[in-house]
Amino acid sequence: MAAGTVTDFLDRLAARTPTPAGGSVAALCIAQAAALVAMVARYCEAPPLVERAELLVARAQQLMTDDERAFGAVAAAWASPRGVSGMDEERRSAIGEALLGAAEPQAQVVETAIEVLVLIDQLRPAARAGLLADLVAAGEVARAGSAIARRNVESNVGALPDSEGRSRLLRRMGVTKEGHDAVGHRDRERR
């Protein structure tokens, strides 16, 4: 997206390819929300908040790229041949590692969304009536991106065996031991 246009991104998003997909959309939501916050901060003459918001825009844009790269690794792992003598366990392991890796950019999207929401709260008292609508829009878009990313994390790691990496990601998303058992159960039911 950084090198292309919105139209290019939408064309790629609509194509029958594994990336970009929901993870890129989640990160784009956060980039848009942070950009709106930067605009409001400029009108409120709050340079430190402008700077923080611009850093969040850049981080979210990078997370779009990171998500595409990580989910490309998932697609490659799934594409490895099945039923090759002695290679099934290696294939399963590669898929698991790739899914765990693909969850990391999405966990960072959630964390970045929280930072955007904190900036919105800081700006709200100084924003004029017309700018409050922009802050509401930024908040709604940030929450949408966060919800998508959180679900992506749960989906990516839900069926994986327990590991410290899996548990750490789920804790970052606010999923407890009981909750992550439910995540795995929901994913198994869908299959």
**Residue 126 to residues 40, 117, 158: CA-CA distances in angstroms?**
9, 15, 42
109 close to 26: Cβ distance less than 8 angstroms = yes
Please give the pLDDT value at position 4.
75
Please give the pLDDT value at position 122.
97
Q: Structure pTM? A: 0.86
Please give the pLDDT value at position 188.
44
Write out pLDDT tens, residues 100-144.
999 999 999 999 999 999 999 999 999 999 999 999 999 999 999
Please give the pLDDT value at position 181.
47
Write out pLDDT tens, residues 24-62.
999 999 999 999 999 999 999 999 999 999 999 999 999
Please give the pLDDT value at position 185.
45
Cα 54 to Cα 56: distance, rounded to the nearest angstrom: 5
Q: Where are the beta strands (DSSP E) in 70-132?
A: none
Pick the residue with more confidence: 18 or 133?
Answer: 133
Please give the pLDDT value at position 177.
59
Domains and CATH numbers, the chain: 22-190 (1.20.120.680)
Is the peptide bond between 161 and the residue preceding it cis, with omega within 30 degrees of 0? Answer: no
Rounded to the nearest 10°, the torsion over CA 112, 13, 97, 161 is: 80
Residue (of 133, 111, 137, 119) closest to 27 by Cα position: 111
Write out pLDDT tens, residues 58-78.
999 999 999 999 999 999 999
